[in-house]
Structures are given as structure tokens and as C-alpha cells.
Amino acid sequence: MIEELAVVVKVEGHQVWVERRAARACGGCQQNASCSTTLLGGLIGKKAVAVESKIELDPGDEVLVAIKESVLLRASLCLYLLPLMALLAGAGIADQLLTGNSADVGVALCALLSLLLALWMINKLQHRLVFAAGAKPVVVKKV
């Protein structure tokens, strides 16, 4: 199980909305100005995530959230490998089918279209692809 500290934002029955806590090293690190984690955290901001909980919690509680490694691995493969394979497959098929002076442009467009199609499909099917076994993040304990 992969665990992360989070803060409860909202409670709805057996489901709580949590936000990830900032890493402790980010505030006092000397590389703070060039750290990509700090930069991305500032751009994206905090995002609440729904998590299952069997523990009685209140907003503001600090909790330990866990998810199975296999779910994280499936999600990584789904989000990184499938779009890359689609991009290469689209470019390869277009390269075989297109000839002439504008073939390079056609190959690039087909590669881009196949990438966008793969991303759209992942967006529509993400819960079936990643959470097929019903494995979702859960609150392990209140800290």
C-alpha cells in the first residue's frame, strides 16, 4: 500500500473529501526557487479527492490515505503507455499509407489525432481501466 497524509475537507456519509498536505521539506528546502514540485503545486493548486472511510471524521482532521500499488501501476500504464502506443501506431499506419510531398504533414496529423483519440478514450474509460478490481483509495487511520 502507498500511503499519503491528507486533510479532510468535507464529509458525506462513508465518503470524505481530502486534500493532500504539502511536503514538509518544501517549505525549508534551499532548492525551493528551482523546485518543480513547488512550481507545479502553485500552478495546479489544491484539489480535493473523494475517498472511502469507515472511520468517523470531521472536516480539518488529518488522515492517512492509502491505495494499492497495483492500482497505481495500472493507472500509470494507462496514462503513459497507451497514449504513447497510440501516437506511434497512428504515425506508423499513416507512414505506410501516405505518399507524396505532404506525407510528413499527414503522418504528424495522424499521430496527433491518434494521441487525442487515445486520451479521450482514457478519459471515458478510466474507471473501468484503472479501478476494474474495485480498488479505490481508503482512509487507513486518523493521525
Question: pLDDT tens digit string along 71-99?
Answer: 778 778 888 899 999 999 999 999 999 88
Q: How many CA atoms lie within 13 A of 11 on its CB side?
A: 16
Domain boundaries, the chain: 2-68+135-142, 69-130
For the segment 26-61, what is each residue's pLDDT rounded down to a tens digit? 555 665 565 655 544 554 456 787 888 888 888 888
> CATH number of the domain at 2-68+135-142, please?
2.40.50
Q: What is the pTM of this model?
A: 0.59
At 35, give phi and psi (nearest 5°): -80, 125
Instruction: For residue 28, give the amino acid letter.
Output: G
Number of other residues whose CB lies within 10 A of the CB of residue 132: 10
The SS3 of residue 25 is helix
| Residue 123 to residues 60, 79, 83, 128, Cα–Cα distance (Å) | 31, 9, 11, 10
Computed over its alpha carbons, how large is the radius of gyration of the chain?
Answer: 21
